[in-house]
Amino acid sequence: MTARLTDYALLMGHVWRCLDCRELLTSNPDVYWIGFKLNDEQKDAIRHLVDESFQTLMRLSEETGLSTRELEEAVDHPRARLRHLGVVKYDYRSRDR
């Protein structure tokens, strides 16, 4: 059984694949990491990411402190593929009619 991936790894896995979310996260991280459980060290690492940070998984690993294995698992994780940043769920039950 594999270990549970952290929110940090899942966030990095998603922005590895999704260029739109990567741009959002790198341009305004304090807004777009809302909802993810991140510590201060992880937040600081995200604040320093730039486009070049995503040239290879090895480089992203070095800049985030995540292992390449964690990143590979996160990139392929279904939750990382489906969780776009800045998306708010709409509750249809509370909709005014």
Residue 6 phi/psi, 5-degree rounding, is: -75, 160
The predicted pLDDT at position 82 comes to 67
CA quadruple 14, 78, 76, 39: dihedral sign? positive
Exposure of 54 in the CB half-sphere (CA atoms within 13 A):
18
pLDDT in tens, 36-79: 899 999 999 999 999 999 999 999 999 999 999 999 999 998 87
More confident residue, 82 or 74: 74
Number of separate helices (H) and strands (E) present in the chain: 7, 0
Q: Which two tokens stand for residue 54?
A: 């995503």
The predicted pLDDT at position 93 comes to 52
More confident residue, 30 or 80: 30
Exposure of 37 in the CB half-sphere (CA atoms within 13 A):
3
Q: Supply the pTM of this predicted model.
A: 0.81
